[in-house]
């Protein structure tokens, strides 16, 4: 099978090779790396402690679904507020500013197309917990992601 002319090889990633932990309140499990889908789609599961600042940002190069697995999240898409709980699904088109808070903590499944969101978080995680704001901003810039 191919995706965009690129051979797609089945991938198995053990849990310990998928986890990104150096991201503050986010613990990220890269469940579907773009490399496994010919960069057509990527997926991550985020586990959160409570988050009180929304971290609003925009991705110019990909859209994504946010599916709430557990917890209660307060999302803002552009300027529209949404409260999302277990099994709620939000569609976040490319170019739409978004952010969220959670007082409960919880888990979110993010699916992005094309792939990229998961790789951005993997690269930020590789910087380690002492990464500077400038280092993180450089990774974000390479992935067309901007704070709002």
| Residue whose token pair is 């709002």 | 148
* pLDDT (tens digit per residue) in 71-99: 999 999 999 999 999 999 999 999 999 99
The rounded mean pLDDT for the chain is 88
Separation between Cα atoms, residue 104 and residue 58, nearest integer Å: 24
pLDDT above 70: residue 13: no
For the chain, domains (ranges, CATH) are 12-130 (2.60.120.10)
In the three-class reduction of DSSP (H, G, I as helix; E, B as strand; rest coil), residue 135 is classed as helix
Token duo for residue 71: 């917890």
pLDDT above 90: residue 20: no
Separation between Cα atoms, residue 92 and residue 90, nearest integer Å: 6
In the three-class reduction of DSSP (H, G, I as helix; E, B as strand; rest coil), residue 132 is classed as coil
Cα angle 114-132-44, degrees, rounded to a multiple of 5: 30
* Predicted model pTM: 0.84
Separation between Cα atoms, residue 75 and residue 41, nearest integer Å: 23
In the three-class reduction of DSSP (H, G, I as helix; E, B as strand; rest coil), residue 81 is classed as strand
Cross-strand bridge partners of residue 80: 77
Distance between start and end Cα atoms, the chain: 39
* pLDDT (tens digit per residue) in 27-75: 889 889 898 899 999 999 999 999 999 999 999 999 999 999 999 999 9
Separation between Cα atoms, residue 29 and residue 47, nearest integer Å: 8
Token duo for residue 143: 């992935």
| Residue whose token pair is 């990104």 | 20
pLDDT above 60: residue 6: no
């Amino acid at each position: 099978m191919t995706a965009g002319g690129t051979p797609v090889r089945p991938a198995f990633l053990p849990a310990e090779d998928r986890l990104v932990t150096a991201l503050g309140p986010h613990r990220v499990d890269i469940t579907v790396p773009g490399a496994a889908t010919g960069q057509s789609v990527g997926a991550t599961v985020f586990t959160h402690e409570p988050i009180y600042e929304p971290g609003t940002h925009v991705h110019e190069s990909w859209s994504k679904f946010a599916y709430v697995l557990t917890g209660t999240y307060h999302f803002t898409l552009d300027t529209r507020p949404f409260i999302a709980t277990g099994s709620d699904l939000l569609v976040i088109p490319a170019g739409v500013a978004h952010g969220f808070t959670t007082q409960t903590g919880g888990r979110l499944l993010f699916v992005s197309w094309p792939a990229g969101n998961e790789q951005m978080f993997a690269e930020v995680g590789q910087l380690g917990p002492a990464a500077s704001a400038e280092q993180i901003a450089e990774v974000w810039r390479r992935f067309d992601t901007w704070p709002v």
